[in-house]
């Protein structure tokens, strides 16, 4: 199935390059193009794409502001942030605003298209550098005052640890010899039990409570 995508970036050369790259893949139909955040929101509302691909630093309304606006005006459209920046000041506000994925611009064409498909399917995508920065941020926070009373099954703990390592659903399924549907079920249970938002929330919770690699 062809993905319908709106592309927003304030640099014409980058924006045009992304459009050409996505169209050349044969898997993406670019249904809207924008040069700033306000225009991006308008294009998404007008076209109802499968995914909004947004740059983070844009005039008039940046990627974070556009993501927040879309959460209200087009809540069914997930946002994939594509940017040069992978620092805390860029990552955390975008994730808190509701971005479903975060890639840096050194991603390959194949990685970008795969990320768009994952985000459209309801999965969270984090570039390895972004995941590392998120983990570093969590590690720098004060430890919780007392253990959190949450009962997790052995398999949920296994899945949580592998999420904290940065593995995808497919990789977790292979590692644990499970079906991807079963992994998704465990993830949904974890999200409900831990009361966190998406994969970034699971990663943060895991590291904060001693379920990170090597813990």
Please write the tens of the pLDDT for every residue from 72-86.
899 889 999 988 866
Q: Which long-range contacts (CB under 8 A, 24 or more apart) does 199-202 make?
A: 199/123, 199/124, 199/126, 199/163, 200/95, 200/124, 200/126, 200/134, 202/160, 202/163, 202/164
CA distance 100 to 51: 10
pLDDT per residue over 80-107, tens digit each? 998 886 655 666 787 778 888 888 888 8
Is domain 3-135 given the CATH code 3.40.50.920 in the classification? Answer: no
pLDDT bin (cut points 50, 70, 90) of residue 145 is very low
Q: What pLDDT, on the 0 to 100 scale, is given for residue 167? A: 76
DSSP state of 68: H
Lowest mean pLDDT among 21-25, 33-37, 118-122: 118-122
Q: What pLDDT, on the 0 to 100 scale, is given for residue 138? A: 57
Give residue limits of the domains in the chain.
3-135, 143-208
Lowest mean pLDDT among 10-19, 79-88, 155-164: 79-88
Q: CATH number for 143-208: choose from 1.10.220.10, 2.30.30.40, 1.10.10.10, 3.40.50.300.
A: 1.10.10.10
Contact present, 101 and 91 (Cβ < 8 Å)? no
Q: What is the pTM of this model?
A: 0.68
CA distance 41 to 146: 42
Q: Which helix (H) or strand (E) holds 134?
A: helix 128-140
């Amino acid at each position: 199935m062809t993905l319908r995508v709106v592309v927003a970036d304030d640099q014409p050369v980058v924006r045009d390059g992304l459009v050409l790259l996505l169209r050349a893949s044969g898997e993406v139909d670019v249904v809207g193009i924008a040069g700033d955040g306000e225009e991006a929101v308008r294009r998404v509302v007008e076209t109802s794409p499968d995914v909004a691909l947004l740059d983070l630093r844009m005039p008039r309304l940046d990627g974070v502001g556009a993501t927040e606006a879309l959460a209200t005006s087009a809540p069914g459209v997930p946002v994939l942030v594509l940017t040069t920046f992978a620092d805390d000041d860029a990552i955390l506000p975008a994730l808190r605003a509701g971005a479903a994925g975060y890639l840096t611009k050194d991603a390959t064409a194949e990685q970008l298209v795969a990320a768009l498909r994952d985000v459209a399917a309801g999965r969270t995508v984090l570039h390895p550098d972004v995941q590392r920065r998120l983990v570093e941020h969590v590690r720098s926070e004060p430890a919780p005052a007392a253990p959190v009373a949450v009962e997790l099954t052995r398999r949920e703990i296994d899945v949580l640890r592998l999420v904290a390592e940065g593995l995808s659903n497919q990789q977790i399924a292979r590692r644990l010899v499970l079906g991807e549907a079963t992994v998704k079920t465990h993830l949904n249970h974890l999200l409900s039990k831990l009361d966190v938002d998406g994969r970034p929330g699971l990663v943060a919770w895991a590291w904060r409570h001693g379920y990170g690699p090597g813990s």
